[in-house]
Amino acid sequence: MDSRRNFIGKFGAGIASTLAAPSTVLGANERLRVGIIGPGDRGMQIVHEAIGCPNIDFVAFADIYTARLESAKKVSPQAKTYLDHRYLLDDKSIDAVLIATPQHLHCEHFTAAIEAGKHVYQEKTMAFTVDHAKRMRAAYEKVKGKQVVQIGHQSCSSGLMKDAQAMLGQNILGKVTAIHGHMYRNTPHGKPQWSRPIDPGMTAENILWSKFLGEAPKRDFDPQRYINWRFFWDYSGGNVYENMCHQVSFWYKAMNLQIPKAVTMTGGVYLWKDGREVPDTMNVSMEHPEELLFTWDSGFGNMRLGATEDILGTDGTIQKGQQIRYLPEKVNRPRGEEFTGQTRTEPRAHMQNFFDAIRTGVPTNCPFEVGFRTSIACRMSVESYRQGRTMRWDSTKEEIV
């Protein structure tokens, strides 16, 4: 692995710009060469998922922190390591790239990977801002049909999704006017949600700080901002981008919901007074053009309610948690019967779907369009909270107003 000093020396010599030719559909059993940009905690989780899929060679890791590369190398000793993702993308032998970097860097890494001719698995939330979402869309539209993109909303590949779509297709809900979701967690006293310790090795010598900042405001090196980036608006959308996005994306796919007309978010840092900027307790209300109100609330101080969604129709309700079930509204379906979905979720289903799409051309279970709409809804929520007012979507200009 290059040390930081060696890397800087090589970087000064310049980086060759190479664009690989668009990939064609491969044989169903052909081996794929895969790399990742951002092998942190979440990144290594999806690395293990990828390695667990058949006929995968994990060949490259790119990260701005030397210790992350050293740790990742233990998982795939033959893989190459890079402190700059552009070296990884220059390798024409790599078929697909996983991206699991902080949210404010998604656009930079996604567009570079697409332009380099790679298939891309992009972790959520897909885009940090509306501008990023548009830039990512422009890059993707140039290669649509040639390169595969999967957005990392894993529940879109679950058995719950198949059951939800089957229930929705039976016309047993009637008119749906509301979706209510929530997501609650708790941690022991003195152990704040998301807080990670600063390792002694997290120094300006071992981390390419300017690469971490990307387009974010310039600041002096701060290991707290590096390791706990989820706390800060410069790099994170808080729990809206961490968890609401998953619950929203599921129903955006299942029901083909469009970008909200209006979003209002309230809340605050009520519990964890540890320097975080993003709220630990929040409520979001999204008015959709389908004449449907999608509400979501969340907190980090009590886990009793867990994470569920209820789809509320005149003729019935779909309840989604660890399982998914249908409950009839007896006032309109007196003979309706309650039933529970039974479809099993296969291990590594979302990652396997990504590789199957590359090899055989099957559709991805969470396509770019679902990631795009979800990103806009999440950004509207954050903007509402930060500006203290309802945000609206101008569908003609594609702007939040």
Whole-number average pLDDT of the chain: 94
Provide the CATH number for the domain around residue 318: 3.30.360.10
Task: Give this prediction's pTM.
Answer: 0.93
Six-digit token string for 268: 């605050």
Q: What is the pLDDT of residue 29?
A: 72
Q: Is 238 found in the same domain as 170?
A: yes
Q: Is 127 found in the same domain as 170?
A: no
Q: Is 31 found in the same domain as 82?
A: yes
Q: Is 102 found in the same domain as 237?
A: no
Q: Average pLDDT for residues 262-285, to the nearest whole number?
A: 98
Q: Is 321 found in the same domain as 266?
A: yes
Provide the CATH number for the domain around residue 127: 3.40.50.720
Q: What is the pLDDT of residue 17?
A: 33
**How far is residue 210's CA from residue 253's CA, in Å, rounded to a whole number?**
36
Q: Looking at the predicted structure, is the pLDDT value of residue 161 above 80?
A: yes
Q: Is 299 found in the same domain as 191?
A: yes
Q: 10-28, pLDDT tens digit by residue?
A: 333 333 333 333 344 566 6
Six-digit token string for 319: 């309840």
316 or 18: which leads in pLDDT: 316
- Structural domains in the chain (count): 2
Query: Which of 219, 215, 15 lies closest to 107, judged by CA?
Result: 215
DSSP letters spanning 323-390:
SEEEEE-TTT-TT---EE--PPPPTTHHHHHHHHHHHH-PPPSS-HHHHHHHHHHHHHHHHHHHHTS-
- Structural domain including 51 reads 4-156
**How far is residue 84's CA from residue 62's CA, in Å, rounded to a whole number?**
6
Q: What is the pLDDT of residue 26?
A: 62
Query: Which of 103, 149, 131, 144 lies closest to 376, judged by CA?
Result: 131
Q: 211-248, pLDDT tens digit by residue?
A: 999 999 999 999 999 999 999 999 999 999 999 999 99
| E strand spans, 202-280 | 262-268
Query: Which of 395, 400, 397 lies closest to 380, judged by CA?
Result: 400
- The count of C-alpha atoms lying within 13 angstroms of the C-alpha of 85, restricted to the half-sphere facing its C-beta, is 27
Angle at 247 between CA 294 and CA 263, to 5 degrees: 35
Q: Is the dihedral of CA 45, 308, 250, 163 positive or negative?
A: positive
Q: Is 108 found in the same domain as 27?
A: yes
Q: What is the pLDDT of residue 28?
A: 67
Residue 219 lies in a domain: no
Q: Is 183 found in the same domain as 151?
A: no
Q: Is 396 found in the same domain as 288?
A: yes
Q: Is 372 found in the same domain as 317?
A: yes
Q: Is 178 found in the same domain as 315?
A: yes
Q: What is the pLDDT of residue 20?
A: 36
DSSP annotation of 265: E
**How far is residue 234's CA from residue 250's CA, in Å, rounded to a whole number?**
27
